[in-house]
Amino acid sequence: MDTLDTEQPPSEANATCFRHPRRETYVRCNRCERFICPDCMREAPVGFRCPECIRSENRTVRQSRTVFGGRSMGRPVATYALIGLNVLVYLAELVWPSVVDRFANLGTGLVDDSGRYFVDDGGSYDGYQLVGIAHGEWYRLLTSTFLHLEPTQGIFGITHILFNMYWLWLLGRILEERLGVLRFLAVYLLAALGGSVLFFLISPHGSAVGASGAIYGLAACYYVVSRRLRYEPLDRNRMIIWLTVWMVLSAGFTAWQGHLGGLLAGGVAAVGMAYAPQRHRGGVQAAVAVGLAAVLVALVVLRALHLGAAA
């Protein structure tokens, strides 16, 4: 009678690693029980696991989430990245001062053949080119929020970026931990956009720079989040006093319209993030962010059309 050849498991005496057949070993993966060599051993709570079992387990482990549904990163990477980006742009300003004119929040202005910028006062445009948000340069709404006053512009020059970066460091770490990276960035950028839009609506012939709108938006977000969680790592009342004092003192040097716009936009975005129902939280949060962005864009379009008609 013919006998069928069946695969027999290797014995302890002649066992080799299932990934490296030429390597003899006596250790098994304590999950799949296949033999593994020292290069394939991965420490486990008890014994060792093979690389395939480790990968399989990692796919089934749920990512930790923040209290508002965001992905927890452990460290405030977005906050540090925003600070780094603001500082790098500021250094670029010091080397190339023309960067400010090219990327500031300018609603409508004039530039001559030599590249000099002028305020659009409604006069003759002969020999000049119309520039600004109202004339298609929409990128200024966000690029201006990473620019700051230069050191030569009085006492508030260097203080402008120092104040903003201090508050970004203080508030950003707390909010990023509770919101997660994407939700935190959404609030920051919407607040920055809100500040730029309100400045454009009220002062389209002026020019402004600074992350202050985003910072005031983060302050509004912190107020909403801390009330929602009933947890205050910072003194809210003291924070409000300091920000109010800064708004008053800097009114002649920075744009109060940007502060107010950022405060309002950040507050609306924060309410959407913090009070979204848990069952459909991600969808509601996304809808609030997209809806707010759409409203801001619509306001810019209407203002630009009005300025174009007036010209």
Active site amino acids = 212, 259
Q: Are 117 and 172 in contact (CB under 8 A)?
A: no
The span from the first CA to the last CA of the chain, in angstroms, equals 102
Q: What is the DSSP letter of 18?
A: S
Residue 42 DSSP class: E
Collapse the DSSP code of 131 into the 3-class scheme (helix H, G, I; strand E, B; otherwise coil) and give the result.
Answer: strand
Buried b (16+ CB within 10 A) or exposed e, 82-99: bbeebeebbeebeeeeeb
Quote the tokens at residue 118: 């002028």
Task: Give the integer Cα–Cα distance in Å for 121 and 44.
Answer: 72
Residue 83: name the closest of 151, 165, 176, 192 by CA. Answer: 165
Residues 6+ apart with CB under 8 A from 273: 68, 179, 183, 186, 187, 221, 225, 285, 288
**80 HSE (CA, 13 A, CB side):** 6
**Closest CA relative to residue 134, chosen from 294, 291, 309:** 309
Q: What torsion do the CA atoms of 218, 224, 226, 229 make, to the nearest 10 degrees?
A: -130
What SS3 state is found at 53?
helix
